[in-house]
Amino acid sequence: MKICFRAVFILCCVLTGAVADDRDWVSQRGLFVVSYASELEPIQINTLHAWQLHLENAAGDAVLGAVIEVSGGMPVHNHGLPTQPRVTTELGGGDYRLDGLRFHMAGPWEITLIVTAGGSTDTVVIELNL
């Protein structure tokens, strides 16, 4: 099942022009595994763009119907994101469209996702360096 979703995810990325980040991000309590693909690749500063998130549970099954709160920023500079991105669409198969992202400086960024699904909530912190 996991391989099947992976194949669908990669196909979606190819079709939409998005490029997958090759890393899985495990939530703090280990309940969810998140990966993302940016529609803007490589990610450039000062450009509004969207990501496609893929959510799985610890067993590798796609997570459907998740509610995802989004925040983030640059901890070393003690400031947040310049926009308020949010998940705008659940695409099916554990995929979600995260829209309204923009990074306005080079350097280390964090995107924090608070994921609630199946009655459980857990936090995933995605790190990226631009």
Partner 1 sequence: MKRSVQVVIVVGVLAAILYYRLATPRAWTEADIVLLESLSLASLGPLPTDPSNTVADDPHAAELGHALFFDARFSANGGISCATCHQPIRRFSDGLPRGQAIGTSKRNTPSIVGTAYSPWQYSDGRRDSLWSQALSPLEDPNEHGGNRQQVVALIMNDPDYRARYQQLFDWLPDLADTQSVNDAFANIGKALAAYERVLLPGTSRFDDYVAALVAGDTAKQAEFFSDDEVVGLQLFIGAANCTQCHNGPLLTNNEFHNTGVISLPGELPDKGRVVGVREVMANEFNCRGAYSDDTNGSCAELEFVRTGQELTGAFRTPSLRNLENTAPFMHQGQIATLAEVLEHYNTAPLAMIGHNEAKPLKLRNSDLRQLEAFLLTLAAPIDADPRWLQAPALPLAKEHDESQ
Whether residue 88 contacts residue 70, with contact meaning beta carbons closer than 8 Å, is answered with: no
User: Least distance from C-beta 85 to partner 1, angstroms?
Assistant: 6
Q: With respect to partner 1, which residue has the nearer C-beta, 9 or 51?
A: 51
Q: Specify the residue, 80 or 92, whose C-beta has the smaller distance to partner 1.
A: 80
- Binding residues for partner 1, rule: CB under 8 A, are 45-46, 48, 77-86, 99-100, 102, 104-107
Q: Which is nearer to partner 1, 93 or 100 (CB)?
A: 100
Do 51 and 38 contact (CB within 8 A), yes or no? yes
In whole angstroms, how close is the CB of 46 to partner 1 at the nearest point?
5
Residue with tokens 């360096």: 129
Element (H, E) at 113: strand 108-117
Angstrom distance (rounded) from CA 84 to CA 74: 14
